[in-house]
Amino acid sequence: IVKMLKNKFRGCLIGALVGDCFGAPYEGESISSISRIQLQSYFDKLEGPPFLTPLYQYTDDTAMTKCIAESLIQNNKFNARDMAERFVKEFFRNPNRGYGENVCDVFHKFNNQNLENLWKPAQEQFNGSGSYGNGGAMRIAPISLFGFRDYDIMLDIVENSTKLTHTHPLGINGAKLQAIAIFLAVRSDPEKPLDIAEYIKELINKISIVESRLNRVVPSEYSYKNQLLKIHRLLELGDKAVPHLVVEKLGNSVSAMFSVPTAIYCFLRAQQSIADIETNNPFRRTIQYAVSLGGDTDTIASMAGAIAGAYYGIDVIHKNLQQLAEGSDMINELAIRLCDQVTH
């Protein structure tokens, strides 16, 4: 059991890393400009015989995921100040990892004000409405793992860690949805075919409770529950749900509302074969499909990769992808330490 859990923890964090590294070259491209044939050969080549190439660099998604994992390991609980300090240090060590345009203001304020008020800089974003970007969700994987034994504690840490940079309810609830998707994947038996209907039902139940606690009014079209119902309908269409339709319905942007459900869809869609994607490997299918949708490709592939890796475990991720991703040894080590921590 512990061995299976370790494989799932490693699969989850390495899955997130690999999605980030191999999705990043396509970030910001529109779906129409991405060639499916070219994408097929991109991944074929990566999984083929060794060739000379620099490592594929990770971006802000992984930089911040690493901070969260390290903070949880060091403190064995959520420590807001420590986590914020790590975000700031990491940002100033390398500000060129493709961070969100506005979140940088939060890091500068933390730095200038010596972390005096931990919660204020994020509250001040966007004239006080807070960020609804997917920056909370993209970094959440270690919290699902750390809290995999206690759902309520897990959700609490998700909320507070997200609020360090993102206070808009859609930003927070997007992070919660991604955390729940991973939480359920860790707990699912990869030897049995995934019961997709049951998985979505469980997500809907849990996110409905979260959304019923909203203390701020948001328009009803911005409901994660609604997005999950769309996922269900799109999955029933199979390949008739062409990539353009998926993007039209679910989105591919840097906002949490229009990227987290998309990532969940990618994971679920990749349980079966997909037109124009030739592979028997469901993890590769997940991230190749995510990238094919364009838009926020590093983040959607990373979030989808985290869920898929948490479900299947590390062995599903092709060795080349692991070796060609910058920081894979470091991320692997963090996954093992997180697992040791929660199983001892």
Where do contacts with ligand F2R occur on this chain (CB under 6 A)? Answer: 27-28, 59-61, 98-103, 126, 129, 131-135, 138, 168, 254-255, 296, 298-299
Total binding residues toward Mg ion, as defined by CB under 5 A = 12
Under rule CB under 5 A, residue 95 binds Mg ion: no
Nearer to ligand F2R, 16 or 184 (CB): 16
C-alpha closest to that of 80 among 156, 164, 138, 171: 164
The verdict on 162 binding Mg ion (CB under 5 A) reads no
The least CB distance from residue 7 to Mg ion, in Å, is: 26
Inter-CA distances, 341 with 142, 145, 147, 258, 304, Å: 12, 10, 11, 34, 25
Q: Report the partner that residue 126 touches, choosing among Mg ion, ligand F2R, none (CB closer than 5 to 8 A by kind).
A: ligand F2R
User: With CB cut-offs between 5 and 8 Å by kind, which of ligand F2R, Mg ion, none does residue 289 bind?
Assistant: none
User: Residues of 48-78 as b/e, b for ≥16 C-beta within 10 angstroms?
Assistant: eeeeeeeebbbbbbbbbbbbbbbbbbeeeeb
Taking the complex as a whole, the smallest distance from the CB of residue 26 to ligand F2R amounts, in Å, to: 8
* C-alpha distance from residue 26 to each of 38, 113, 183, 292 (Å): 12, 36, 28, 9
Closest to ligand F2R by CB, 7 or 62: 62
Q: What is the closest distance, in whole angstroms, from the C-beta atom of residue 80 to ligand F2R in the complex?
A: 17
Answer for the pair 314, 10: CB distance below 8 angstroms, yes or no.
yes
How far, CA to CA in Å, does 61 sit from each of 19, 83, 136, 202, 285?
A: 10, 15, 9, 26, 21
CB-nearer residue toward Mg ion: 165 or 292? 165
Q: Where in 164-193 is the site for Mg ion (CB under 5 A)?
A: 165
* Residue 132 interacting partner from Mg ion, ligand F2R, none (CB closer than 5 to 8 Å by kind): ligand F2R
Distance of closest approach, residue 30 Cβ to ligand F2R, in angstroms:
11
90 touches Mg ion (CB under 5 A): no
| Overall size of the chain counted in residues | 344
Nearer to Mg ion by C-beta: 194 or 325?
A: 325
Residue 58, C-beta contacts closer than 8 angstroms, at least 6 positions apart: 17, 20, 21, 24, 97, 325, 326, 327
| Residue 28 touches which of ligand F2R, Mg ion, none (Cβ within 5-8 Å per kind) | ligand F2R
Q: How far is the CB of 271 from ligand F2R (least distance, A)?
A: 25
Candidate ranges 58-66, 204-212, 228-236, 310-318; the one touching Mg ion (CB under 5 A): 58-66
Phi, then psi, of 218 in degrees rounded to 5:
-125, 145
Beta-carbon count within 10 A of 329 CB: 11
From ligand F2R, Mg ion, none, interface partner of 211 (C-beta below 5 to 8 A by class): none
Of 319, 294, 325, whose CA–CA distance to 29 is shortest? 294
To ligand F2R, the closest distance from the beta carbon of 129 in angstroms equals 5
Residue 126 or 151 with smaller CB distance to ligand F2R: 126
Complex with Mg ion: residue 107 or 267, whichever CB lies closer = 107
161 binds Mg ion (CB under 5 A): no
**What is the phi-psi region of residue 327: left when phi exceeds 0, alpha when psi lies from -120 to 50, beta otherwise?**
left
Bridge partners of residue 56, in order along the sequence: 325
Three-state SS at 277: strand
Which member of 71, 299, 322, 328 binds Mg ion (CB under 5 A)? 299
Nearer to ligand F2R, 152 or 221 (CB): 221
Which of 127, 126, 161 shows the shortest CA–CA distance to 141? 161
Residue placing its CB nearer to ligand F2R in the complex, 103 or 241:
103
Chain residues binding Mg ion by CB under 5 A are: 59-61, 98, 103, 131, 133, 135, 165, 296, 298-299
